[in-house]
Structure 1
Amino acid sequence: MTTTGPWDDARARDALRRLLDAAIRSADPRAVLADHLPERPSGRVVVVGAGKSAAVMAAAVEEAWPDLPVTGLVVTRYGHAVPTARIEVVEASHPVPDAAGERAAARILQLVEGLTADDLVLALISGGGSALMPLAAPGLTLADKQAVNRALLACGATINEMNVVRRHLSAVKGGRLAAAAHPARVVTLAISDVPGDDPAAIASGPTVPDPSLFADARAIVASYGIELPGAVRAHLEAAAEETPKPGDPRLSRAEYRMIATPLMALRAAAREAEALGLTPLILGDALEGEAREAGTLLAGIARSVAAHGLPARAPAVLLSGGETTVTLGGASGAGGRNGECLLGLAASLAGHPGIWAIMADTDGIDGSESNAGAIAAPDTLARARAGGLDPLAALAAHRSHDVFLALGDLVVTGPTLTNVNDFRAVIVT
């Protein structure tokens, strides 16, 4: 597709996909992980990990250290495994945890116990690790964790709020994994999927100190009116054993290295935009809030570009990352936060000419369906109505997937084996 000439529908759609692909490529562990590996230790190397990228990260370790006798276990989402020779890969459920993840987490904890100061624990952490490593704190069950997880997903809590609660219900999160590995050296290689790249929030921070308290978890539960199982409520009230805090000597040999982040992905997309003849404007890598409202906000900025050349002159592309939320309010829904944000943008633009957008989860799965996201064009609402759909009613019912499926505008990538959160690009010509 040419990068010059008029901005018609075909050119805009091609550019949007190229921007998404550039963002995803920048976070491919096979391309970036080796540069962040520590020096080889004199003792054993035990590789553990959890997340949607855990398996491909493990494969990248094996490729970088072909002659090192590494051992270990990582757990990833169903359908995200890749072949490995020395590091075992287990698949489990996400976003609601299952028994396979629980068993894998228990084995990971056992693998890091009894090591010496000469040994290295290489922790491969990426988005989704919280649900994939659901070993409950003593006195709690997997069913308790599943119930809390479902409630958190439905109530509209932010990812950081979810992780505060999860850390205080876990036997491995909130620094407990690194504490169990002491006195071994622990080096974490992480791919960030959270706004702000807070290590304590990525997979609920199994290898870093936890600054939050049981009291914070209780406050979050209360603020959303979440009904807890009795055992969970009692556990949070008792606050018997806090998570390891900053300065805990058990974490004195723990290091953290970020190998891919949302901002890195946005910068890669910005470079691609320039090659396509677009002026890139990165709005931020940590946008949060209700998805539909975020779409309305982005539509307003796009209209300003079109009408006033502010905050950038067309042809331009507005790039953003982060993680919005969808508060279902009892609706069943069909789709994810990216589809809802995109339909919110389209509804607000109301057919404004010369504006196209793509919104997708960089892991390849947006919410409840198998697509990564979708594309909206100036004629999205008109085509939907011509096909007998009511896009505004679909938006109110949280069924954005129905609209974009009917229009043939879903973006399907399959599992990308990485995850640097949501990617949004709005082209204004």
Structure 2
Amino acid sequence: MCKAKNMIIENIDELTSRGNKKGRRIVLELVEETLNQVNYYNIVKEVTKLTNDILKIKDLELDLNGFKNVYVIGGGKNSSSMTRALEEVLDGRIAGGVVVEKEGYTTQTKHLLIVHGGHPIPSSDSVKAAEEVLRVLNKVGKDDLLLVCVSGGWTALTSKPPRGISLEDHIAMHRLLMNSGMTVEQMNIVRNHLSQLGRGKVPMFAKGATTIGLIAVDEVEGKPWGPTVPDSSKFSDAVRVLVDFDLLDKVPESIRKYLETAPPSEESPTPLDYMNNCLKVHNLVIADNIRLCESAQKIASKMGINAFVLSTSLRGEAKHVGAVVASIANEIANFNRPFRRPCLLIFGGETTVTIVGRSGEGGRNQELALSAAQYISEGSRIVIASIATDGTDGPTDIAGAIVDGTLVPRARRLGINVTQEQNEHNSSFVFKQTGDAVYARNTGTNLMDLILVYVE
């Protein structure tokens, strides 16, 4: 199915040279085709049309003659793929804007300025990027149209802490959140209250401009989120999250003090704030994990494979989820239930990894795959791939991993104690040694994770 030229998965030939070669090829070709289907550039071109000065985005129609200027802001991993598509659709009608990307993710725009921020941990570049966004917002007026393209990563890439909180404290807080095992939704309750461009805040800077959020959802709850969506959480909710994860006394003092004493005027804007300020805001979800999983299912069906979407909201500790996924695969392999072989199981969502004590190198997808591999027997015809759709799993340059029943025996022959490496969250080391790490070029998308389970 896949052609070697310009493939997203860089090492597909190596990955299919060992183990269950046929099953691996099927799974990796499905990953490849699915990522192409949900590329942001393709999706924006699909849902956005301009006809005789009428801009249509999904079901929303806007007469561009009614606006003085059009501005575009993008933020998040692969958001430049969205903004490039908008530039082509709007054909020279954009007066200005900026795109904030993670280094290595950039799709070249025609005219829009591209800057880079830190991710997954904010950096001084994140603060500079936020200032560029604020400079654009300072130009926007009530007679203008503001299009805001949002993808996962906005929060870190555009993070600018409130006055009184140093960048060092801000970074330390993010590291604590990342290692805590909390979900991204829980992290964002805290992070959004500690960034000047957090949830719901962009329209408050836009001085009454008509604001359209084009949102790629990368949260398991599947709801619109980001800088154009009003917030229902309060400072007290951020404090509660820190208490629940025993972090309130561990975050820097400036963070704790701000969350506990900041005035109500600095709360994130609520739906009522939008209403009271007569803000004209429309938020449109253009892509999510449901679309990702359904695309995989349709592609598999065209290949003649019985495919079933079991979840688009997978969550939990990665190693535990991996064990459950493998157990379901074993039930099918051994007893033809709940589905008959051959079949493909599709999961989407985002797991977590809780780090306590010693930690190596890895990511949630690699941890899930390594756990699953330990529950697959060598003679089984099961293949499992867990892939970060943005192409980088956690703080690594690896997209994920693919495993079958040969992984653990091969690792043992290399002198690797898989259980020990799992316990030390050192999954990248294992997959680099065994050659089962999946490397990807820029995917042009970011819709959480895709887990495919193929049982022959």
Fold shared by both chains (TM-score > 0.5):
yes
State which drifts further: 345-354 or 263-272: 345-354
Give 1:251 shift. Answer: 6.6
Question: What SS is found at the alignment partner of 1:155?
Answer: coil
Counterparts of 1:13-412 in structure 2, within 5 Å, are 13-34=24-45, 35-36=47-48, 37=57, 39-41=62-64, 42-113=67-138, 115-200=140-225, 205-226=226-247, 227-240=250-263, 241-248=266-273, 249=275, 250=277, 252-351=279-378, 353-412=380-439
Contact kept? 2:221, 2:313, Cα under 8 Å: yes
Structure 2 counterpart of 1:347, one-letter code: Q
RMSD: 1.7
Contact kept? 2:38, 2:292, Cα under 8 Å: yes
Unaligned stretches of 5+ in structure 1? 3-7
Give 1:274 shift. Answer: 1.5
Contact kept? 1:279, 1:312, Cα under 8 Å: no
Question: What SS is found at the alignment partner of 2:291?
Answer: helix
Cα separation, 2, equivalents of 1:251 and 1:263: 33
Distance 1:29 1:70, change over 3 A: farther
Contact kept? 1:338, 1:366, Cα under 8 Å: yes
Distance 1:12 1:230, change over 3 A: same
Question: What SS is found at the alignment partner of 2:177?
Answer: helix
Distance 1:187 1:251, change over 3 A: farther
Contact kept? 2:381, 2:455, Cα under 8 Å: yes
Identical positions, percent: 33
The C-alpha deviation readout for 1:123-170, integer Å capped at 9, x for no partner, is: 010011111000112322322221111110011111000000011111
Structure 2 counterpart of 1:231, one-letter code: S
Unaligned stretches of 5+ in structure 2? 3-18, 49-56
Question: What SS is found at the alignment partner of 2:446?
Answer: coil
Question: What SS is found at the alignment partner of 2:87?
Answer: helix
Question: What SS is found at the alignment partner of 2:194?
Answer: coil
Aligned length, in residue pairs: 420
Cα separation, 1, equivalents of 2:257 and 2:69: 40
Distance 1:271 1:105, change over 3 A: same
The C-alpha deviation readout for 1:165-223, integer Å capped at 9, x for no partner, is: 011111111211111113101101111211122223xxxx2111101111110011111
Give 1:40 shift. Answer: 4.9
Structure 2 counterpart of 1:74, one-letter code: V
Corresponding residue of 1:5: none
Give 1:39 shift. Answer: 3.0
State which drifts further: 346-355 or 146-155: 346-355
Structure 2 counterpart of 1:304, one-letter code: E
2:447 corresponds to 1:424? no
Cα separation, 2, equivalents of 1:17 and 1:381: 20
Contact kept? 1:70, 1:87, Cα under 8 Å: no
Give 1:415 shift. Answer: 2.5
TM-score by length of 1: 0.94
Structure 1 counterpart of 2:432, one-letter code: L
Contact kept? 2:332, 2:341, Cα under 8 Å: yes
Cα separation, 2, equivalents of 1:350 and 1:130: 41
Question: What SS is found at the alignment partner of 1:113?
Answer: helix
TM-score by length of 2: 0.88
Contact kept? 1:58, 1:84, Cα under 8 Å: yes
Structure 1 counterpart of 2:417, one-letter code: D
Question: What SS is found at the alignment partner of 1:340?
Answer: helix
Cα separation, 1, equivalents of 2:112 and 2:168: 29
Structure 2 counterpart of 1:199, one-letter code: P
Cα separation, 1, equivalents of 2:94 and 2:27: 43
